């Protein structure tokens, strides 16, 4: 199988895994949202801030270092595995002991046991982390498909069952833990790699010399991404936090499917050819164009149909999340630009640049957040959107020199599909104003949106559409080996 076919095959398997898992998770979240109230979701969102921050240390940058290192062997993988397990036990002890302080921060004693239970996901992730790096390095994403799907289905059953019998926020916590546990068990079952009885501190330090900068940049990124939840949960109410998170969840579902699929395949592929700058640019360019072509119409469609969508799937009690949904749709529409640029920088071993970027972008983001806090949760979301556009420029800037691919050239590559998606969104928003039942409006919007975007792609001869159509017609989508 050629490199091109291998990339396509693994990308499709990764995409199928994300689509399957997220589709099930989305359906389950709808069911749970109808059973549980915003305050219960808000309470769980408060504590996931802390587990998400500690989760960064689980990888410690070592996962990316294992993928990026050309000659990584069993000594490298085994050394990272043993270190990760030990680190995760220490991290869990920290969050266990800090549970009363977290509950005191939010003035809610019910959070103590929730925090202690949620923290177990850190230990579970530590056991799975190196296996994930091995799968990514060897491009065996077909194995992710089975592990993720089984974990998602089993955890969905657990979550709904506990919610129905009145466990409230505990239903969400147990669902997350079950998903991680089953996923880990299946990965260990289907992946043949096992840690050897070897450990090299020098190898660990060698990997850490690359990974610590990514660790710090990832930590800054996660702190920045979750600090809004921390602020909203503390300054405002759990319900306000639930509306903010729910508005982000639906567009994030699409981003997780498309962006995670591309990210997990793109980084190891770029790392394999890190000495070929022309190849790096070609892959990054194709990634940005195709992923934006897919992402833009979905984001604009969700934004335009936001109110109708929320009424149908979540009921009127969640209608306050619509403004947040629209803001995050615009924000996430340009996520492929971030992903491709960051992966090029990581693949070329320039973790020092990533760290500098994180310091700059997050510093500006914190300033915007502090300025927005007195004006409410909606203004906090707008400040996040403004910061995101600044981040695009900073994240793409180094690649003008590294691979001769400037930000202006990137914008030019996605300009036609983005403008077409915006035009489609405006048309769909106009349809939403018609006085018809919500389900009829949504069906009309879906049909009209598909007609405008696909028809426009044919008329304008958009390159990404032509490429995807040719790949589909050649049946290479189905050549999995």
Burial of 412 (0-12, 13-18, 19+ CB in 10 A): exposed
What's the pLDDT score for residue 273? 60
Compute the distance between CA of residue 159 and CA of residue 174 in angstroms, rounded to an integer. Answer: 7
Are the CB atoms for 89 and 236 separated by under 8 Å? no
What's the pTM?
0.67
What's the pLDDT score for residue 3? 52
Compute the distance between CA of residue 152 and CA of residue 107 in angstroms, rounded to an integer. Answer: 33
Least confident of 270-274, 323-327, 388-392: 270-274
Residue 225 or residue 227, greater confidence:
227
Mean pLDDT in residue range 73-86: 86
- CA-CA distances (angstroms) from residue 457 to 391, 418, 454, 464, 472? 29, 11, 5, 9, 16
Cβ partners under 8 Å of residue 285, min gap 6: 405, 410, 413
What's the pLDDT score for residue 270? 62
Compute the distance between CA of residue 139 and CA of residue 134 in angstroms, rounded to an integer. Answer: 8
Banded model confidence at residue 348, pLDDT cuts 50, 70, 90: confident
Least confident of 136-145, 258-267, 291-300, 323-332: 258-267
Q: Is residue 90 over pLDDT 80?
A: yes
Compute the distance between CA of residue 396 and CA of residue 406 in angstroms, rounded to an integer. Answer: 7
Residue 2 or residue 140, greater confidence:
140
Q: Is residue 445 over pLDDT 90?
A: yes
Residue 19 or residue 343, greater confidence:
343
Mean pLDDT in residue range 19-26: 70
Q: Is residue 479 over pLDDT 50?
A: no
Identify the H or E element spanning 49: helix 38-59
Opening angle at CA 258, ends 445 and 272, nearest 5 = 155
What's the pLDDT score for residue 7? 57
Cβ partners under 8 Å of residue 334, min gap 6: 292, 388, 389, 392
> Mean pLDDT over all residues of the chain?
81
Mean pLDDT in residue range 156-162: 88
């Amino acid at each position: 199988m050629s490199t091109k076919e291998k990339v396509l095959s693994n990308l499709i398997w990764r995409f199928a895994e994300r689509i399957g898992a997220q589709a099930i998770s989305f359906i389950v979240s709808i069911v749970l949202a109808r059973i549980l109230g915003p305050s219960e979701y808000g309470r769980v969102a408060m504590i996931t801030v802390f587990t998400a921050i500690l989760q960064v240390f689980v990888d410690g940058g070592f996962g990316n270092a294992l993928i990026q290192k050309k000659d990584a062997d069993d000594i490298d993988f085994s050394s990272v595995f043993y270190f990760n397990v030990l680190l995760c036990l220490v991290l869990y002890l920290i969050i266990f002991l800090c549970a009363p302080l977290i509950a005191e921060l939010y003035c809610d004693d019910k959070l103590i046991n929730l925090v202690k239970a949620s923290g177990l996901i850190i230990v579970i992730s530590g056991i799975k982390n190196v296996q994930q790096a091995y799968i990514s390095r060897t491009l065996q994403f077909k194995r992710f498909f089975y592990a993720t799907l089984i974990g998602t289905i089993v955890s969905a059953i657990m979550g709904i069952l506990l919610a129905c019998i009145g466990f409230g926020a505990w239903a969400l916590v147990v669902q997350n833990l079950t998903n991680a546990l089953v996923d880990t068990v299946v990965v260990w079952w289907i992946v043949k790699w096992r840690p050897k009885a070897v450990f090299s501190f020098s190898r660990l330090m060698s990997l850490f010399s690359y990974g610590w900068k990514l660790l710090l940049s990832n930590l800054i990124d996660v702190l920045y991404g979750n600090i809004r939840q921390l602020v909203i949960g503390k300054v405002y109410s759990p319900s306000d936090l639930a509306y903010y998170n729910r508005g982000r969840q639906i567009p994030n579902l699409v981003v997780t499917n498309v962006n995670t699929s591309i990210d997990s395949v793109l980084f190891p592929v770029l790392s394999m050819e890190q000495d070929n700058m022309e190849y790096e640019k070609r892959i990054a360019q194709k990634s940005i164009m195709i992923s934006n072509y897919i992402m833009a119409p979905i984001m604009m469609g969700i934004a335009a149909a936001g109110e109708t969508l929320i009424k149908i799937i979540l009921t009127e009690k969640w209608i306050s999340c619509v403004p947040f949904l629209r803001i995050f749709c615009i924000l996430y529409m340009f996520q492929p630009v971030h992903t491709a640029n960051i992966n090029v920088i990581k693949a070329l071993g320039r973790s020092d640049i990533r760290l500098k970027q994180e310091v700059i972008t997050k510093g500006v983001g914190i300033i915007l957040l502090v300025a927005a806090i007195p004006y409410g949760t909606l203004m906090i979301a707008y400040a996040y959107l403004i910061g995101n556009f600044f981040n695009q420029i900073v994240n793409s800037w180094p690649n003008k020199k590294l691979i001769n691919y400037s930000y202006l050239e990137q914008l030019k590559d996605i300009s036609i599909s983005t403008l077409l998606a915006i035009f489609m969104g405006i048309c769909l928003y106009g349809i939403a104003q018609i006085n018809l039942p919500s389900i009829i409006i949504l069906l009309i919007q879906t049909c009209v949106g598909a007609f405008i975007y696909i028809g426009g792609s044919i008329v304008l001869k958009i390159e990404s559409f032509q490429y995807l159509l040719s790949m589909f017609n050649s049946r290479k989508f189905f050549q999995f080996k």
